[in-house]
Structure 1
C-alpha cells in the first residue's frame, strides 16, 4: 500500500483570481496494469480535494478580498495622513527653528517682566505703607469730622447769638453815629461860641465881624484878610436882611467894588456877582458914581434897598465875612 501511495503523482495548481490551473509535476510513469486500476480512484480523490481547496480559496477570496481591499484603502489613507503629518512636522520644525530666536527674545522679555514685577512688588509694598498712613489720617479726619458735626449741631445756637450780636452791633453803630453827630454838633457849637467870644456873629454857615472902627475900603479889606476873611458878599435876600438889621443905622463897607468908572461890579471874595438880583438891593438912583470916583459899595440904610456907592477912600465901619470851616478852627 505504501508503495502504491508513493507512486501517486503530486498535483500542482495555481490560483490567479478566478482561474485555476492543475498540472502534474511529472507525467505518470508507464506501469503495469495494477497501477492503471488505482489511478481513477486516486485522481478522483485528488480532484475532490482540489475542488474543495479551490472552493475554499474562492470562498475565502470572496470574503477576504473586500476586507483586504478596504484595509489597503485604509492603509493608503493612513499613509497619506501620515505623509501630511510628516509635512506638518517638517513645517513645524522649520517654524520652531524660526521661532527659536523669538523664544530667546521672549526669554529676555520674560526676564524684563520679572524685573518689572520685582519693581512693582516694591512699589506695592510702598503703597501698602502709604495706605496704612492714609488709614491713620482717615481715622484722624473721622474724629475731626465728628467734632465738626458737633460744631454743626451748635451752629443754630451760635446763629441766634450772632443775630443778637448783629442787632447789638447795629445799635452800637447807631449809637456811634449818634455820638459822632453829637460830637460834631458839640464841636460846631464850641467853634461857634469861640468865634462869638471873639466878636463874630454866626448866620447860615458863615461868621460875620461888624467892626467898631472906621477904615477906608482898602484898609478894611486888609483887616478882614488878616482875620482869614474878606469884606462881606451878599448872595441872598435873607443874608441882606441879616446884614442891614445887624448894622442898624450905621454905614458899613461891604465887599462890592469895581475897576474904574466903566468897570463891572464884583465881590472881592470871588463870589459870582448876580446883577439882576442885586438890582433889588441898591438905594433907588444908586449906583450914580458921583464925581466919577465912587467905586466901592456900602450899607447906608436899615432896609432891603440899602446899597450905596461911595469913594473907596472914605472912612466907614465895615463887615468881614468868613465861611465856617471846622478844620480851620
Structure 2
C-alpha cells in the first residue's frame, strides 16, 4: 500500500495528427533504476489505454461531431416547429374559445330555424290542403267550362231568337206607346167631356166658361176664382179669334185691367202682357179711358179688333179660363 501511495510522476503527451508522444515531467532519478523499471509496464499500459481512449475520442469526435451538430440543428428546428405548433395550438385554443360562442349562437339559430321549419311545414300542409281544394274547384270549373262551351255552341241560335224577341219587343213597345197615347187621349177626351158637360168649352189646352148672367168685372173675377179659374187672358190671334166668335157680338169681360188712370195693363191670371201684340186687338181709338174711369176691358164686337176699355162697375157677361190639367188615373 505504501508503494502504491507514492506519487506517480506526471506524464505529458502531445497529439500531432496520428502521432502521440509521451514523456515524463521530469526524468527519473538515476539513483533509482529499479523502481523505474518496476513501474514501466504499468505506465506503459496506462499510457496505451490513455492513448487508445484519446484516439477513440478523437475518432468519435471526428465522426460524431457532424452528426451531433446536425442532430442539434434538427432539434433546434424541431423545437422551433414545436414552438410554432404550440403557438398555433394556443391560437387555435383562442379560436376554439371564440368559436364556441359562435357555435352556441349557431345552435340558437339552428333551434330558431327548426321552429321556422316546423312552421313552414305546417304552412306547407295548409298549402297542400288549399291546393287540393283548388284542384277540386278547378275540376268543378272545368266541368262548368264544358257546359259553357255547350252554351257557346247554342249562342248563335239564341242570338237569332233574341233578335226575333227584340223585334217583337220593339213592336210591343210601339203598341204599348200607342196604347198609352190612346189611353191619354181617351182620358183627355173623358176630362174634356166632363168639363163640357159642366158648360165649359175646350180650346188648345184650356177650358173656357162663357157665363149666362151679367156681373161687374170684380164679381166676375170672384166667380171665376170659385171655379178654379180666372177671367180669360189672350195670348195669340187664334185664341182671340176663338173668343170673339164664341162671344157672338155680346159684351164679355176679359181678365185685362189696370190700377188707376196711370197704371199699366196686366192680366189677372199673371200671364205676361204683350203690349205690341195687344195693339192688333184693340178697337181703333181704344183704349180711350173716357171719364178717367175705364180700367177694365171687354170684348165688344165680333172682330179681331174687338177690345174696349170700360168702367169696371158695368155689368156684362164674362169669360173664365182654366188650363187643362190631366186628372189622376
CA–CA distance in structure 2, aligned partners of residues 184 and 178 of structure 1: 10
Unaligned runs of 5+ in 2: 1-12, 28-32, 35-47
Q: Which residue of 2 aligns with 1:38?
A: none
Q: Which residue of 2 aligns with 1:23?
A: 21
| 1:319 CA drift (Å) | 1.0
| 1:208 CA drift (Å) | 1.0
| 1:75 CA drift (Å) | 3.4
Q: Which residue of 2 aligns with 1:184?
A: 184
Q: Does 1:298 align with 2:298?
A: yes
Q: Structure 1's 134 and 94: CA in aligned 2 closer, same or farther, altered over 3 A?
A: closer
Q: Is the 8 A contact 1:233 1:256 kept in 2?
A: yes
Q: Residues 147-296 of structure 1: matches in 2 within 5 Å?
A: 147-153=143-149, 154-155=151-152, 157-158=154-155, 161=158, 163-164=162-163, 171-296=171-296
Q: Which residue of 2 aligns with 1:135?
A: 131
Unaligned runs of 5+ in 1: 1-12, 32-45
| 1:277 CA drift (Å) | 1.6
Q: TM-score, normalised by structure 1?
A: 0.71
Q: Which residue of 2 aligns with 1:103?
A: 100
| 1:244 CA drift (Å) | 0.9
The Cα offsets for residues 182-239 of structure 1, whole Å up to 9 and x where unpaired, read as 3323222222222222222222211111122222222221221111111111111121
- The count of corresponding residues between Structure 1 and Structure 2 is 288
Q: Which residue of 2 aligns with 1:9?
A: none
CA–CA distance in structure 2, aligned partners of residues 202 and 159 of structure 1: 56
Q: Is the 8 A contact 2:14 2:21 kept in 1?
A: no
CA–CA distance in structure 1, aligned partners of residues 166 and 75 of structure 2: 110
Q: Which residue of 2 aligns with 1:5?
A: none
Task: State the secondary structure of the residue aligned to 2:20.
Answer: strand
Task: State the secondary structure of the residue aligned to 1:145.
Answer: helix
CA–CA distance in structure 1, aligned partners of residues 262 and 83 of structure 2: 144
CA–CA distance in structure 1, aligned partners of residues 292 and 120 of structure 2: 114
Q: Structure 1's 23 and 242: CA in aligned 2 closer, same or farther, altered over 3 A?
A: same
Q: Which residue of 1 aligns with 2:87?
A: 87
Q: TM-score, normalised by structure 2?
A: 0.71
Q: Is the 8 A contact 1:298 1:310 kept in 2?
A: yes
| 1:315 CA drift (Å) | 2.2
| 1:288 CA drift (Å) | 2.0
Task: State the secondary structure of the residue aligned to 1:326.
Answer: coil
The Cα offsets for residues 259-297 of structure 1, whole Å up to 9 and x where unpaired, read as 233332221111122222211111112222223332221
CA–CA distance in structure 1, aligned partners of residues 189 and 169 of structure 2: 29
Task: State the secondary structure of the residue aligned to 1:138.
Answer: helix
CA–CA distance in structure 1, aligned partners of residues 271 and 94 of structure 2: 119
Q: Structure 1's 193 and 159: CA in aligned 2 closer, same or farther, altered over 3 A?
A: farther
Q: Structure 1's 90 and 178: CA in aligned 2 closer, same or farther, altered over 3 A?
A: same
CA–CA distance in structure 2, aligned partners of residues 254 and 306 of structure 1: 11
